[in-house]
Amino acid sequence: MGIRILIVEDEKNLVKLLRGYFEKEGFEVYEALDGDAALEMARKAEPEVVVLDWMLPGLSGMGVLRELRRFSQAYVIMLTARTEEVDRIVGLSGGADDYVTKPFSPGELVARIRAMLRRPRGGDSEARKPLELGELTIDPESREVRLRGEPVNLTTLEFDLISVLASRPGFVFSRSRLLERVWGENYFGSDHVVDVHVANLRKKIEEDPANPRYVETVRGVGYRFAKR
């Protein structure tokens, strides 16, 4: 039996096109037209590879990826419409294994998938290695954070927040950038929500939340993870 591959994309013509290419490769093809259907199908078909469109109706590509990572080890290749999205996708913990920017040639996509399958799982992907920062360890694979070896109980959002910040120690993330990367592009609300969650996060990881060692405030701009 061939590689099981799940196409998650709402553009029916593209799904049809990809299905043709994948079947020619001998892949066993599954499809889902929206995020919820994608998760249901991923549970049922247990694909080895998921081709995931970033822009989906309902649950976004990011939302699907986040949920998928809770139960699936599938390789994920994202389809993105704009190059600006790439940085967001790659930077996020539990992120995609690869991406292609639309428009792309199906032949190129197949080549990328073949290359991805040859790589050992998580082998050369920096993003999947646990990050060790001071007494803090952040493991993107298990989505676990440990402080001096003790597990810290973070919410999904807090985990995503610390992962984004810690992905680039010393880099200042503005509130709007954090909103975009953690909450997603469909979030409409006050920047203040970032402060609230940073405060909660600090209570869990900082010895003295008023005098943080890990998540620093950059006045008037946003937050950064301390470089050490």
Residues near Ca ion (CB under 5 A): 10, 53, 55
User: Which pairs with CB-CB distance under 8 Å and at least 24 residues apart come from 13-22?
Assistant: 17/106, 18/51, 18/106, 18/109, 21/106, 21/107, 21/109, 21/110, 22/110
Select 37 or 55, whichever has its Cβ closest to Ca ion.
55
**For residue 95, which of 50, 55, 155, 136 has the smallest C-alpha distance?**
50
Looking at beta carbons only, is 7 or 165 nearer to Ca ion?
7
What is the tally of helices (H) and strands (E) in the chain?
8, 12
Q: At what angle do helices 106-118 and 12-24 cross, to 10 degrees?
A: 60
Asked if 6 and 42 count as a contact pair (C-beta separation under 8 A), the reply is yes
Minimum distance, C-beta of residue 83 to Ca ion, in the bound complex (Å): 16
Peptide bond into 209 cis (omega under 30): no
CB of 55 to Ca ion, least distance (A): 4
Cβ 81 to Ca ion shortest distance, Å: 8
Please give the single-letter amino acid code of residue 26: G
Can you name the residues that pair with 28 across neighbouring β-strands? 4
Smaller CB separation from Ca ion, 86 or 172:
86
Alpha-carbon distance 176 to 166, whole Å?
17
Q: Which is nearer to Ca ion, 62 or 164 (CB)?
A: 62
Measured from the CB of residue 64, what is the shortest distance to Ca ion in angstroms? 12
Contact 224, 171 (CB under 8 A): yes
Written as one letter, the residue type at 70 is R
| Least distance (Å) between residue 127 CB and Ca ion | 24
**C-beta closer to Ca ion: residue 56 or 165:** 56
DSSP 34: S
Nearer to Ca ion, 20 or 57 (CB): 57
Q: How far is the CB of 164 from Ca ion (least distance, A)?
A: 24
Residue 58 or 134: which CB sits closer to Ca ion?
Answer: 58
What is the token pair recorded at 150?
A: 């003790």
CB of 14 to Ca ion, least distance (A): 8
